[in-house]
Structure 1
Amino acid sequence: MEKLHLEYPAGAPATQRVLVGVVASGDLEILITPAPAGRCHITIHSAADGSATRWRAQLERLFADGKAAAMQMEINDFAATPGVISLRLAQALEELSA
């Protein structure tokens, strides 16, 4: 099991809490809570050792511009594929902007 902590620049605080996905075989869960303006704090609990490179690549594409809402994001990963990761992240961010 691996635990990662990542941080990215952000804008204004998120306005709501979000929960998408479930922790089950080959899937993942994302929980978002608002955080103070300026930073996205991301914690990933992954069942797959050596997943840091995969996670950094996925998240840097999303948060590189610094325009995301400030949030605390907790991700519980049960060895999800890159496609499932992309889907769940898109769902979570869509819910956040709704």
Structure 2
Amino acid sequence: MEKLTYDFASPAPAARRARVGVVASGDLEILAVPRTDGRATVTVTTSVDGFGPIWQQVLDAFFARTPLAADLTVNDAGATPGTVALRLAQLKEIAA
């Protein structure tokens, strides 16, 4: 089990709280709480150790396209980067 934390500048506040996905084998959930200070913090709790650089790449790509100011809590049960990107896209649709 590994816990990772990432911070981003994100000027667009999320419009509302949101939850996408479900923690299950090979999947993840993301919980979002809006912020108004132009920042985003992502806390990832994952069952798979050693993938910090991959998480960084996926999150860098998301925040480059979607400057969503929110605290994100990610509970991961071994999701692939493609699944993570899908859940982040779903989050954008709900929270932005």
**Superposition pairs of residues 12-31 of structure 1, within 5 angstroms:** 12-31=12-31
2:40 equivalent to 1:40: yes
Per-residue deviation at 1:63?
1.3
RMSD: 1.3
Q: Is the 8 A contact 2:6 2:42 kept in 1?
A: yes
Question: d(CA) in 2 for partners of 1:88 and 1:7?
Answer: 19
Q: Is the 8 A contact 1:12 1:37 kept in 2?
A: no
Q: Is the 8 A contact 2:23 2:76 kept in 1?
A: yes
Q: Which residue of structure 1 aligns with residue 79 of structure 2?
A: 80
Q: Could you list the runs of 5+ residues in structure 1 that have no partner in the other structure?
A: none
Residue 15 of structure 1 aligns to which amino acid in structure 2? A
Question: d(CA) in 1 for partners of 2:64 and 2:54?
Answer: 15
Question: d(CA) in 2 for partners of 1:19 and 1:93?
Answer: 11
Per-residue deviation at 1:12?
3.6
Judging by fraction of residues, say which structure has more strand: 2
Greater CA drift, 8-17 or 38-47: 8-17
Question: d(CA) in 1 for partners of 2:12 and 2:53?
Answer: 28
Q: Which residue of structure 1 aligns with residue 6 of structure 2?
A: 6
Residue 90 of structure 1 aligns to which amino acid in structure 2? A
2:90 equivalent to 1:95: no
Q: Could you list the runs of 5+ residues in structure 2 that have no partner in the other structure?
A: none
Question: d(CA) in 2 for partners of 1:3 and 1:41?
Answer: 13
Residue 83 of structure 2 aligns to which amino acid in structure 1? V
Aligned pair count reads 96
**Percent identical residues:** 45
**TM-score between both structures, scaled by the size of structure 1:** 0.91
